[in-house]
Amino acid sequence: MLFRKKSQPLLGLDITASSVKLIELSQTGRRYRVESYAAEPTPPSSVNERVIVDTKALGDAIRRAVKRAGARTSDVAIGINGDAAITKIIQMPASLSERELEGQVEIQADQYIPFPMEEVSFDFEILGSNEKDPELLNVLLVATRTENVDQRQSAVDAAGLTARIVDVEAFALENAFQLLSHQIPDSGAGQTVAIADIGASSTTFSVLQDLKVIYTRDFAFGGQQLTEEIMRTYGLSIGDAGRAKKQGGLPSNYQPEVLEPFVDDMTQQVSRLLQFYLASGGGREQPDMILVCGGCANIAGIADVISSRVGIPTEIGDPLGQMKISYKANSQGVHKDATALLTACGLALRSFD
């Protein structure tokens, strides 16, 4: 089901350790509109380090989100995290028929996948002619353990939905980067842009040239660490700490003693990831700008702090900035959550393949 193309509306469903987010988009010409949206907290202990351990509890949360959103479709696109996927560009003869190509990909896949093939789900996509040899095709091979797909399908089934597409989150993010082009000079043409998507438990740091990903790295850092520090400092439950982080009302020492040290750590992580990128290959140069996304992008002034300490112009990424928003989606606070919707939007964009 990886990469399978659909022309019908799909809900983009992003499942993380902290929340379940779903979004439905429509398209008119080259403009998108948010038709429905909702987010629900992920039930405690139902997702552990991106592994789904309680499909029923998670399915119930997805069902609640669908009901709140008032979505018009029950078909969804879901993603698996990049750490759980194997990707490889392989070369195949351009003369092969589609059936022959499928057979040859399966034969070659066995060389690159370190698991028994009967335990694996895989798919492929033709990228185009090989630059060095036009008689060859570049083919993207993607594989994951079937259990990773089954876990997500089971949760979706428990919610009464149907998983039509299983994508890889890194590809969904790349798909969504077009939605940020309005924030980049010349719509991204000739630009090198770093995107730090800082979520609840992990950060995805990607670098794009001409809106194409040339580098990506996941790192175990996110807003959950701030929530846990609030919990420890003020003796709150994890749920109350999360609500206080978003809604305010914490004691006056919160900013200097809890928030500012977290912001310092967050800035150091971005700087470290930037150094990893610069050291990853010859000829790497500083990006022209940084876009900060994810829930942590909502920390007041974070873009200015990163810009001043890293020395690169930094803005908050807004994938909804050029979209129309339906009244129904607006009432669910989609604008408030916009910075955290890159993956969900990238999955929902599969509706228009």
Is the pLDDT at 1 greater than 60? The verdict is no
What is the predicted pLDDT for the residue at 218?
Answer: 85
State pLDDT tens for residues 182-241: 999 888 888 999 999 998 888 999 999 888 888 988 888 999 999 999 999 999 998 889
Range picked from 100-104, 175-179, 255-259 for highest mean pLDDT: 255-259
C-alpha dihedral, 261 to 262 to 266 to 271, nearest 10°: 10
Would you call 67 helix, strand, or coil by DSSP?
helix
327-348 pLDDT, tens per residue?
999 888 899 999 999 999 999 9
Specify the CATH class of 11-82+147-176+323-352 in words. alpha beta
Output b/e per residue, 173-211; b: 16+ Cβ within 10 A: bbbbbbbbbebbeeebeebbbbbbbbbbbbbbbbbbbeb
DSSP string, 295-328: GGGGSTTHHHHHHHHH-S-EEE--TTTT-EE-HH
Least confident of 88-97, 110-119, 150-159, 221-230: 110-119
CB 68 within 8 A of CB 83: no
Per-residue CA distances from 183 to 193, 240, 311, 314 (Å): 11, 35, 18, 11
Residues linked to residue 132 through DSSP beta bridges, in sequence order: none
Q: Is 116 helix (H, G, I), strand (E, B) or coil?
A: coil
Lowest mean pLDDT among 2-6, 169-173, 187-191: 2-6
Match 């206080």 to its residue by tokens. Answer: 244
Question: pLDDT value at position 242?
Answer: 86
CATH 3.30.1490.300 assigned to 84-146: yes
Q: Answer whether 11-82+147-176+323-352 and 84-146 agree in fold.
A: no
Q: Report the mean per-residue pLDDT for the chain.
A: 91
For the chain, count helices (H), then strands (E). 11, 16
State the Cα torsion 250-253-259-262 to the nearest 10°: -130
Cα 353 to Cα 350: distance, rounded to the nearest angstrom: 5
CATH C-level class of 183-316: alpha beta
Residue written as token pair 């580098």: 215
Q: What is the 3-state secondary structure (H, E, C) of 125-168?
A: EEEEECCCCCCEEEEEEEEEEHHHHHHHHHHHHHCCCEEEEEEE
Who wins on pLDDT, 315 or 87? 315
Question: How do residues 292-326 score in pLDDT, each as one tens digit?
Answer: 999 999 999 999 999 999 999 999 999 999 999 99
Confidence of residue 20 (pLDDT cuts 50, 70, 90): very high
Average pLDDT of the residues in 170-191: 89
- The predicted-structure confidence for 98-117, as pLDDT tens digits, reads as follows 889 988 988 888 888 888 88
Question: Structural domain boundaries of the chain?
Answer: 11-82+147-176+323-352, 84-146, 183-316
